[in-house]
Structure 1
Amino acid sequence: MYADKIIELINKTVDTFRYKPRESDAPFKKPEKTLIALPGYIGDIILLIPTLRNLRYNLGDNSQIDIVCNKNIYNLVETLPYIDNFYLNENIGKNKVSFLRQNNYDTVFLFNFPVLWSFASYRAGVEQRVSFNLERIGLNYPPIWQKLITHLVKSTPITDKKPQWQVYLDTLKDLNLNIFDEYLETHLTNDDLYKAKNVMQEIERPRIAIHITAGSPGKQWHLNNWIILIKYLKDKYNCSLIATGTENEKILYDYLATQSGIRIHNLCGKTTIRETIALYRYLDLIVTLDTASAHFAAAANTKNIVIIYGPTNEAQWLPHAPNSNIYQIYRNLPCRPCLTRFCHHRECLNKLYPDKIINVIEQISI
């Protein structure tokens, strides 16, 4: 709500100066050295992988493609065979301009809206700077963004129904590049698979995972709702309940186990991202918020994926999971989807009661 008012003010200010967006970008030239600045959210990386693969198909083996990402994402991307070099934002820090110049990149892809990398690419004189227009956040072509970005590719409004993985792929079409395939993949090592197998051998079926945290606090569902839900799951399926996540999230699942009186196999902090995806191959069902775990399950071909949505657009953030049964649960409200992702009433989640999730799960056979 508050973000909408700020965006409206910015758009009115731009309109006052009668600024006209440029009609077209220069033709995209096949680069020799490309840097891709990845988004900060892990779920986005899963959805972006088909685009990275297709970019390699277009540029060929003789073109260099490097990635810069946050440290928490590195484990997911380090095994991708179509990337040449990997760099961490934490190591580069404030030295972005010198880093770009030293590596002599002629092209950067900026996903989604990395402002600092955008300014650095402009200052470093990188010839081709590719990023989304600002339609997703409702801005009408602010002049500074058109100055920083040489090749604006289409985003979609926050209300649009196109899945985000398709939005990412379409960036290549906007540059007159080809789409050769669309499948989702992650490159798990034998060690990843071996560890997952050993862990899951100790956990009886049926195996149900719950994931109660998200990168955005505005997506959180009340812990009391989760207590009701896990009691129901245990009673209905006599299942083994599993939790994965970071070490910092462990305490939340310990709390749920204590309050519900039900054992949760708490694997938080014990697995990497790739190992977590490997674990999800053994699940019969996962119940998760709209967060990375939903996309992990899609990559793992988990049989049944139940996703609880709050302020986000369920169509845009649908996992790319043709081999899974997807159940999306949300409230139809005039304020959804919400750009701000937090507000004073949070009706999208505060009035999304466990009964609605239970009614959906009642239809699932595992």
Structure 2
Amino acid sequence: MKVVVRSTNWIGDTVMSIPALKEIRRIFADAEITLCARSWAKEMLEGADFIDEIIAFDKGNNPTKNFLKQAKLWHEKKFDIAIILPNSFGSALLAKLGGVKQSFGYATEKRSFLLTKSFPVPKWKSERHEAFFYLNLVAEIEKALSGKSSVSAEIPTPEIPVPEERRKRALEILESYGVDSSRKLVALGVGSTNSLAKRWHTDGYAELNDLLQSELNVNVLLLGSKDETNVAEEVFSKAKLKPVNLVGKTSLGEAIGILTAVDLLISNDMGLAHIAPAVGTKTLVIFGPTNEKTSRPIGSEIIRKNVECAPCMLRICPIDHRCMKLISAKEVLSKALQLLT
């Protein structure tokens, strides 16, 4: 049997779907399981034993052409079952055009006619962690195919395998930037590519950097993607004690390796905040507009202020960004100290 899983589109969502991917492997133990995902997933999930193959699917400069090319590839691979994790109409259409024998997903965006079997979105979706949303889909699929479900109600911790050579490469990168290996290392994730409202203010990160270095005597580095270069440079310019700025200078695979070498990641609600605890790194996430009930990185600690307008889920704050501005650098430092000792 050949099973294809249409993965989620963001790094954090993909990490939150790992428990579901592991259940798919358990249920379809003898199947060949292919993950159709964004190209960065190959770096993130290299060596994962719950996937046999990853095929990249990026929109690129010509989304329609790339979509049809992907559908043709699915046809060629002759998949028996498609499990559609995203809620989009297009992801279900891909399974239909790809000629998959049976396709399953949630009944969203009026796409049920494209799927062999669709399932209603659980009423509890906004009250439980997103990982349960994906696990519930797998449970419904197992029930539809076998008449019963064996999917656990307990949420397992996502684990991302990190090859030894990637860990060694991370240490080489840190050494090349002059990071003192005799001191503890704290990484700051100051960006967020899909929401400006998720970002704690740059003054706060700059002050936190100075406090971490002056009061705790730790190394501090900035970590993130090329899309977050501007905000990282702003933090760097405001910092009195300069951190090591690696934002935009590493691949995702290298960033994952570096996360295995740091003692603590402090970040906004972003992809790296989900990856860090999945590779065993202590993580403190600064929450503002998003709902920690549904999207808190599993295994992380959080800090947030209870304000009347949060969680609003908006990408740009229309007022004064109070949910973030009320969080002080000293509060974050205090929480960081607890996690470092």
Give me the TM-score of the superposition, normalised by structure 1: 0.77
For residues 294 and 79 of structure 1, the distance between their equivalents in structure 2, rounded to whole angstroms, comes to: 21
The residue number in structure 1 matching 2:29 is 60
Matched, 1:260 2:201: no
For structure 2, the 5+ residue unaligned runs are 144-148
The residue number in structure 1 matching 2:294 is 316
Match of 1:111 among 56, 66, 85: 85
Matched, 1:246 2:218: no
Q: Is the 8 A contact 1:78 1:86 kept in 2?
A: no
- Structure 1 SS opposite 2:294: coil
The residue number in structure 2 matching 1:83 is 51
Match of 2:194 among 213, 216, 235: 216
For residues 215 and 125 of structure 2, the distance between their equivalents in structure 1, rounded to whole angstroms, comes to: 37
Residues 178-215 of structure 1, C-alpha deviations (whole Å, 9 max, x = no match):
33793422222221021123344552212111101113
Matched, 1:48 2:17: yes
The residue number in structure 1 matching 2:284 is 306
CA gap 1:274/1:153 in 2 versus in 1, 3 angstroms: farther
CA-based RMSD: 2.7
Q: Is the 8 A contact 1:184 1:320 kept in 2?
A: yes
The residue number in structure 1 matching 2:146 is none
> Which amino acid letter does the alignment assign opposite residue 55 of structure 1?
I
CA gap 1:214/1:156 in 2 versus in 1, 3 angstroms: farther
For residues 103 and 235 of structure 1, the distance between their equivalents in structure 2, rounded to whole angstroms, comes to: 57
> Which amino acid letter does the alignment assign opposite residue 246 of structure 2?
L
CA gap 1:236/1:42 in 2 versus in 1, 3 angstroms: same
- Structure 2 SS opposite 1:328: strand
Q: CA deviation at 1:222?
A: 2.0
Matched, 1:278 2:257: yes
For residues 263 and 194 of structure 2, the distance between their equivalents in structure 1, rounded to whole angstroms, comes to: 27
Q: CA deviation at 1:85?
A: 2.7
Q: Is the 8 A contact 2:236 2:245 kept in 1?
A: no
User: How many pairs are equivalent?
Assistant: 320
Identity across the alignment (%): 20
Q: How does 1:1-366 map to 2 (within 5 A)?
A: 32-61=1-30, 63-90=31-58, 93-95=66-68, 96-134=70-108, 144-149=110-115, 150-152=117-119, 154-155=121-122, 159-160=126-127, 162-175=128-141, 176=143, 177-179=149-151, 182-200=156-174, 202-204=178-180, 205-217=183-195, 218-303=197-282, 305-321=283-299, 326-345=300-319, 346-361=321-336, 363-366=338-341
CA gap 1:80/1:155 in 2 versus in 1, 3 angstroms: farther
Q: CA deviation at 1:354?
A: 3.4
Q: CA deviation at 1:245?
A: 1.8
- Structure 2 SS opposite 1:94: helix
Q: Which moved more, 1:222-231 or 1:203-212?
A: 222-231
Q: Is the 8 A contact 2:5 2:33 kept in 1?
A: yes
Give me the TM-score of the superposition, normalised by structure 2: 0.82
CA gap 1:297/1:84 in 2 versus in 1, 3 angstroms: closer
CA gap 1:295/1:128 in 2 versus in 1, 3 angstroms: same
Q: Is the 8 A contact 1:253 1:264 kept in 2?
A: no
- Structure 2 SS opposite 1:316: helix
Q: CA deviation at 1:223?
A: 1.4
Q: Is the 8 A contact 1:108 1:130 kept in 2?
A: yes
For residues 74 and 156 of structure 1, the distance between their equivalents in structure 2, rounded to whole angstroms, comes to: 33
- Structure 2 SS opposite 1:210: strand
> Which amino acid letter does the alignment assign opposite residue 67 of structure 2?
K
- Structure 2 SS opposite 1:35: strand
CA gap 1:46/1:348 in 2 versus in 1, 3 angstroms: same
- Structure 1 SS opposite 2:261: coil
CA gap 1:350/1:127 in 2 versus in 1, 3 angstroms: farther
Residues 256-309 of structure 1, C-alpha deviations (whole Å, 9 max, x = no match):
223222221122344333332332233222210011111222022223x21111
For structure 1, the 5+ residue unaligned runs are 1-31, 135-141
CA gap 1:156/1:320 in 2 versus in 1, 3 angstroms: farther
